[in-house]
Structures are given as C-alpha cells and as structure tokens.
Amino acid sequence: MGRTIRTAAGLIGAGLAPAAARPELERVAAEFAVSVTEAVADLIDPADPADPIARQFVPSAAELEVAPEELSDPIGDAPFTPVKGIVHRYRDRVLLKAANVCPVYCRFCFRREMVGPDSEGLSPDELDAALAYVAGRPEVWEVILTGGDPMVLSPRRLADIVGRLNAIPHVGVVRIHTRVPVVAPDLVTDAMVAAIRGARAPTWVMLHSNHWREMTDEARAACARLVDAGIPMLAQTVLLRGVNDDVETLTRTFRALVSARVKPHYLHQGDLARGTGHFRTSLAEGRALVKALRGDVSGLCQPTYVLDIPGGHGKVPAGPDHFAEHPDGGWTVEDPRGRAHRYRG
C-alpha cells in the first residue's frame, strides 16, 4: 500500500497542507481519524485550493463546526445492533462490521466516530456470535461486509468469513462495501480476489467512489481483477459540495465507473454526521442535479439518488417526481426536456 500519512506533520511534510494549518489539523485529528494513502496523495494537486480529492481526505477546521441537527450516529446503527458487529435494519439483510479501520478516512464519513485505529474490532468470540446471529435468522438472505473497510483484512481472514457465510444455507449473497480498489489498489491481489469469491453464494463488491479522477489506471486494473474473476461490481457515490455537485462532474464520474465495468447504484445525499455541514448539498440541489442527468446521460450511468433517514428508518429514493395526477383522470408526465404530456394509463 506504500506510505500512508496519518498525522498533521505528515500532511505538511507531503505538501498537502501549509505549515500554518498545523494547530487546526491537530485539533481535527484529535477528534476524527486521519489516513491518506500514497495512491490518494499522488492524486492531490497541492497548488489547487479547491482540489476535489484533497477536499475528501485532507482534514479541515470546518470539521470542528457542528450543527444542531448533526448526530454521532446519523443513520441509526445503534438501535439495530442486536449483537456486536451486526446491524439488522432490514428484514432480509444485515450488515456485518468485519473491520473497524479503513485505508483512508473520508472527512464526510457517517461512521467517523466509530472507526479508526483506536476503535475496537471484533474478537474471535464476537465474530462467532455475529455469525451465529446470521445462522439463526433464516430470513437473512444477504450479508453486507462493511465497517470500516473489510478489504483491509488479510485474504486469510476474509476467506474465513466468506467461507463461513457460504456455509449458512439461507445466505444467498455476500456484498462487500469498500474503498480499496481506488485508494489502495495494490491490495486487490489475486489472493484477495480468491478470498472473497464465494464457493456457493455469489459475492458482489460495492465500490465507493466520488470523483472521476479516482478511477486511475491502477484503480481500473484492480476493478478488472475482480470483474474478470466473475465478481460483479456496483458503486455508491456521495453527493458532496465542492467535490461532485455539478452535472459535468457527476456525468464524468458515472461514465468512468461504467467504463471500468462498475455499475453506479446509489448516489447518497450527505448524512448528518457531526462536522460535515460544509459537504452537504440541500435535497433540492440534489434533486435538480439528478433531474438534469436524466435524458442526456446513458441509463447505465443513472444511480438511484437516496436519503438515509436519520434515526435508522432506512433508505428511500429522493429523486425528482415526473408524474402528477391530472384533474380529468390519468396523469401528467414531464419528459427529460421539461415538457408535459398527458398519460391516461
């Protein structure tokens, strides 16, 4: 994975932050974990104060500004945690927090207060209990490995978890949520690919990528190693002010993903995590952006825009509505050009 920067001094030494910013960087680092991999650092243009990659990974004093509506657990993991490491919010699927660390720490992360080098991972006994919970719930069809980033685990440990999940008859699919192919692509080795392939239940990989510049040749090659091994890939993107909150950037990002054989699946409205207000767009802005993509951009490049309702109430589509009931019956339908049409079905 090469060198990883984890301190204010390291950021300054790498030219990613000015020396004068050291006090504020240290205050932020004391609150929220910092990690910038070599692959990410190489993408940052230190001469550009608005660099969209730096904005995602280099700490900012704005993170210490907490709005009243912001929460330490913005999507409500805690109320749906029956045993350590499991979140069971939806009937047919659970999250299994297989790791509590990440190769990088996104400055907008909704779990930023639960992950990091000082967080407590699962012990062998706790992992056994988490897997026993899944085994004892026949309604659970999908298990989503998350964290943290499960692909920071060794191939041996991942193979053990995936193998044990495959041994549970009612588990139909394993999904892995990860940033690794874009932020540490060298971790996607042949051994890693072999480890996550299920012997029975297929493994899907959900890549987190927010900007087309993240899809480097190395990232594309990492994705290719997964897809060529028969592992389907989806992508989730967070709508971020100053990173991708315009039609051109979103279009280039989704096209870059599709070109790498990764299907854009979700575009997330920014969660109400503490200290992340400077990243959030309004729902109205997000809906307008998604509406502008419709029609002129390939359907392959159209993720579902979603809001994760604070408090653990689940994800809902947040995209624009193109239908209105007509007073004489039927519907008025708005096309991608904004023109209205009558539909009587």
The answer to whether 253 and 218 are in contact (CB under 8 A) is: no
pLDDT tens per residue across span 21-77: 999 999 999 999 999 999 999 999 999 999 999 999 999 999 999 999 999 999 999
How far is it, in rounded angstroms, from Cα 256 to Cα 245? 16
Q: What percent of the chain has pLDDT over 70?
A: 100
Residue 2 has a pLDDT of 76
Residue 120 has a pLDDT of 82
Decide if 160 is catalytic: no
Residue 1 has a pLDDT of 66
Tell whether 45 is covered by a domain. no
Pick the catalytic residue: 51, 149, 245, 308? Answer: 308
Q: Tokens representing 208?
A: 């987190």
How far is it, in rounded angstroms, from Cα 218 to Cα 203? 22
CB atoms within 10 A of CB 141: 15
Tell whether 344 is covered by a domain. no
| Mean pLDDT to the nearest integer, 262-289 | 97
| Mean pLDDT to the nearest integer, 201-205 | 98
- CATH of residue 267: 3.20.20.70
Decide if 106 is catalytic: yes
Place of tokens 């049409």: 341
Residue 247 has a pLDDT of 98
pLDDT surpasses 80 at 300: yes
Tell whether 2 is covered by a domain. no
Tell whether 43 is covered by a domain. no
pLDDT surpasses 90 at 119: no
How far is it, in rounded angstroms, from Cα 212 to Cα 200? 34
Pick the catalytic residue: 102, 105, 220, 245? Answer: 102
Tell whether 283 is covered by a domain. yes
Q: What percent of the chain has pLDDT over 90?
A: 94
The answer to whether 306 and 295 are in contact (CB under 8 A) is: no
Name the nearest CA neighbour of 255 among 235, 269, 228.
Answer: 235
**Structural domain of 200:** 65-316
Pick the catalytic residue: 90, 157, 255, 287? Answer: 90
| Mean pLDDT to the nearest integer, 291-303 | 95
Residue 118 has a pLDDT of 80
Q: Tokens representing 143?
A: 């298990």
The answer to whether 36 and 16 are in contact (CB under 8 A) is: yes
Pick the catalytic residue: 213, 271, 291, 301? Answer: 271
Decide if 301 is catalytic: no
pLDDT tens per residue across span 138-181: 999 999 999 999 999 999 999 999 999 999 999 999 999 999 99
Residue 328 has a pLDDT of 86
Pick the catalytic residue: 84, 225, 287, 315? Answer: 315
Tell whether 1 is covered by a domain. no
**Using 50, 70 and 90 to split pLDDT, how confident is the model at 295?**
confident
Pick the catalytic residue: 55, 73, 93, 105? Answer: 93
| Mean pLDDT to the nearest integer, 248-268 | 98
Pick the catalytic residue: 55, 73, 89, 280? Answer: 89
Decide if 102 is catalytic: yes
pLDDT tens per residue across span 76-98: 999 999 999 999 999 999 999 99
For the chain, what is the mean pLDDT?
Answer: 96
Decide if 225 is catalytic: no
Decide if 109 is catalytic: yes
Residue 56 has a pLDDT of 98
Pick the catalytic residue: 55, 109, 137, 179? Answer: 109
Tell whether 141 is covered by a domain. yes
What is the count of structural domains for the chain? 1
CB atoms within 10 A of CB 276: 27
The answer to whether 175 and 206 are in contact (CB under 8 A) is: yes
What is residue 303's DSSP assignment? Answer: P
Tell whether 263 is covered by a domain. yes
